Amino acid sequence: MMELVPWGADRVDDLVDLMLRAAADEDLTPDELLTACHERSGIVMATPDGESVIAVGVDRDVDGDLIASIRLIAVGPRVQRTGRGADLLDHAEQWAAERGAQRIHVGGELSFSLWPGVPTESPIAALCSGRGYETHEFWQSYDVATSFRAEPPTGITIRRAVHDEDVTRVLLAATSGWPRSADEIARALEHGTCHVALRGDSDPVVVGIGCHSITRAGWTGPLIVDESARRRGVGQALLGQICRDLMIAEFDRVIVADLPDDAARSFIESTGAVASTRFQRMSKQL
């Protein structure tokens, strides 16, 4: 295997530069790369010439299993198709196995990911497939115009979760009802990008949470509605507030990427959303 050296947070500008050359359409910022690659347990490794980088992390999934996730893999244009991608995966798999990870995933499985998976029919998907990674889920992302708005249903209040009482309600609801998303919701609360749907006045109950711009600006999620309040327009009202935030920030579209089932896809399509990138979840047993 080729030699790799660790890159700390001080090399984030070099990482931005590489991503601009390897995947300019992603338009990743220093803050986004710091959040995804350096704020959680893991490592960023690069070739000495700075033309190839892989970021990988380890954490517990919701079942308590220790897993690894490749957060980013990039090879500069002038050294592509020279076997570097395979060597990067070798290093990531070895690093993860040495730390006890049972499986390694490509994007999406752990919190604060840059992508929900691997774009289908992409060079990275082909690379991983040829190295024994299996596809076990497909995810369709959608673009929603930031002009979208929807009024909340009767009896439901939608507001930004900034006051202490609302922050506490959201944290408790996330921890008890949606533990997989709790860390990302907590980050959205810190950033002021979390809206909450409440039922009742004197002691309101959280029936929905809508967040955006946690790891990537303009990306929605988590967007969650309690089963007791679904199919009433709560999700649309939350999404409308997210769109309002991002229109003020001069975005013309919101990216909704993490849609786990047919019901969620039906919901987002009802907003006039347009299908964009299709992702696949890939993983490999270590």
Half-sphere exposure of 225 (CA within 13 A, CB side): 22
Q: Please, which residues bridge with residue 104 across strands?
A: 68, 284
Above 70 in pLDDT, residue 260?
Answer: no
Domain 147-251 has CATH 3.30.1490.20: no
> What confidence score (pLDDT) does residue 269 get?
87
pLDDT at residue 263 greater than cutoff 80: no
pLDDT at site 38: 94
**What DSSP element (H or E) covers 140?**
strand 134-145
Instruction: Assign residue 147 a region (left: φ > 0; alpha: ψ between -120 and 50; beta: otherwise).
Output: alpha
Domain 5-138+281-285: CATH class, spelled out:
alpha beta
Residue in this structure with the two tokens 């490592």, named with its chain if needed: 43
What pTM does this model have?
0.90
Tell me the CA distances in angstroms from 178 to 73, 83, 254, 284, one per residue in order. 29, 41, 23, 26
Q: Which helix (H) or strand (E) holds 67?
A: strand 66-75
Sign for the pseudo-dihedral over CA of 247, 253, 257, 260: positive
DSSP designation for 121: T
Q: Which residues pair with 52 in a beta bridge?
A: 75
Residue 117: alpha-carbon gap to chain centroid: 9
Alpha helices (H) along 118-162: 123-130
- Inform me whether the pLDDT recorded for 11 exceeds 80: yes
Residues 238 and 72: their CA atoms lie apart, in Å, by 30
From 198, 195, 220, 219, select the one nearest 209 (Cα to Cα): 195
Convert the pLDDT of each residue in 139-193 to its tens digit.
889 999 999 999 999 999 999 999 999 999 999 999 999 998 999 999 999 999 9
Above 80 in pLDDT, residue 262?
A: no
Residue range 39-64: mean pLDDT, rounded: 93
What value does the mean pLDDT take over residues 209-234?
93
Residue 156 carries which side chain, given as an amino acid letter? I
Cβ-contact 225, 197 below 8 angstroms? yes
Region(s) of the chain under CATH 3.40.630.30? 5-138+281-285, 147-251
Is the model's pLDDT at 60 over the cut of 80?
yes
How far does Cα 253 stand from its chain's mean position? Answer: 17
Peptide bond into 30 cis (omega under 30): no
Q: Are 283 and 104 in contact (CB under 8 A)?
A: yes
C-alpha separations of 161 from 185, 192, 195, 208, 282 in Å:
11, 7, 5, 11, 35
CB atoms within 10 A of CB 237: 22
The DSSP bridge pattern shows strands 66-75 and 103-106 to be parallel
- Neighbouring CB atoms inside 10 A of 117's CB total 27
Residue 221 near residue 184 (C-beta atoms within 8 A):
yes
What size, in residues, is the chain? 286
Query: Mean pLDDT across the chain, nearest whole number?
Result: 93
